[in-house]
């Protein structure tokens, strides 16, 4: 299925100006997800007809908030949001962490077929990474609770690094944030995803060595 028109329309509604080359790469990526999903179960089969709305556009909505040069995607799975962001930002370096061997193989194949030289795939658990304070931004989508993501990010983020978590309902977010008590300030941005009648939010936290993770 060709998703180019839906990508163009959706990105326009998000206020993003994508080139024809970027749209072509994003379309090719979604076609790869569809092809490999039959054997690798990358996304729920029930959402294949909504790849653009349910899986791609909320990742693209994160783009204006992406800071720094070195970005790590926790539990990348099918590559959301790391691969779409790598397509939009060829001047940034993206590291995709995925512990599942099959999904990691898909990510490597997608990197090759899309020609993403700014992408690195690591088939490993995040806890085993040896990088220290290397990344400017941690991105995560449907991976773990916010408190767990914060815990895993502690040694990987640079000073003033940012954690960006794509989440669903605000009520769920608030229950996850209760674990922080009063020591963290959090910025939550409501995302209006074209064609998706579901609540989506982006939770941002900023790292400060003197104060902890702050916005």
Q: Could you read off the pLDDT of 110-123 as tens digits, one per residue?
A: 999 999 999 999 99
Average pLDDT rounded to a whole number, residues 154-180: 82
Would you state the structure tokens that stand for residue 27, as one six-digit string? 């379309």
Averaged over 195-208, what is the pLDDT?
Answer: 86
Give, in order, the Cα–Cα distances in Å from 76 to each of 5, 105, 160.
26, 12, 23
Is residue 183 over pLDDT 80?
A: no
Spatial neighbors of 155 by CB under 8 A, at least 6 apart, are: 132, 133
Q: Rounded to an integer, what distance in angstroms lies between the CA atom of residue 38 and that of residue 45?
A: 8
Please compute the mean of the pLDDT values over residues 184-203 and round it to a whole number: 88
Contact (CB, 8 A) for 92 and 118: yes
Number of other CB atoms surrounding residue 153 within 10 Å: 22
CATH 3.40.50.150 fits 53-214, yes or no: yes
Span 120-153, pLDDT tens digits: 999 999 999 888 889 999 999 988 888 899 989 9
- pLDDT at res. 215: 44
Residues 73-90 have pLDDT tens digits of 999 999 999 999 999 999
- Asked if 151 and 126 count as a contact pair (C-beta separation under 8 A), the reply is no
| pLDDT at residue number 179 | 63
Cis-peptide, bond into residue 129, ω within 30° of zero: no
């Amino acid at each position: 299925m060709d998703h180019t028109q839906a990508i163009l329309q959706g990105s326009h509604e998000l206020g993003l100006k994508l080139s024809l080359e970027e749209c072509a790469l994003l379309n090719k990526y979604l076609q790869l997800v569809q092809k490999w999903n039959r054997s690798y179960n990358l996304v729920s089969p029930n959402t294949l007809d909504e790849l653009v709305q349910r899986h791609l556009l909320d990742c693209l909505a994160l783009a204006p908030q992406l800071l720094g040069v070195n970005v790590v995607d926790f539990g990348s799975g099918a590559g959301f949001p790391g691969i779409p962001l790598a397509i939009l930002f060829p001047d940034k370096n993206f590291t995709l962490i995925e512990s599942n061997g099959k999904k990691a193989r898909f990510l490597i194949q997608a990197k090759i077929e899309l020609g993403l030289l700014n992408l690195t795939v690591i088939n490993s658990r995040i806890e085993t990474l040896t990088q220290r304070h290397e990344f400017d931004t941690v991105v995560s989508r449907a991976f773990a609770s916010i408190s767990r993501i914060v815990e895993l990010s502690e040694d990987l983020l640079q000073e003033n690094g940012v954690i960006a978590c794509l989440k669903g309902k605000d009520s769920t977010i608030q229950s996850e944030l209760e674990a922080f008590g009063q020591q963290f300030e959090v910025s939550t941005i409501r995302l209006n995803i074209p064609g998706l009648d579901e609540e989506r939010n982006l939770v941002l936290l900023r790292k400060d060595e003197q104060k902890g993770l702050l916005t």
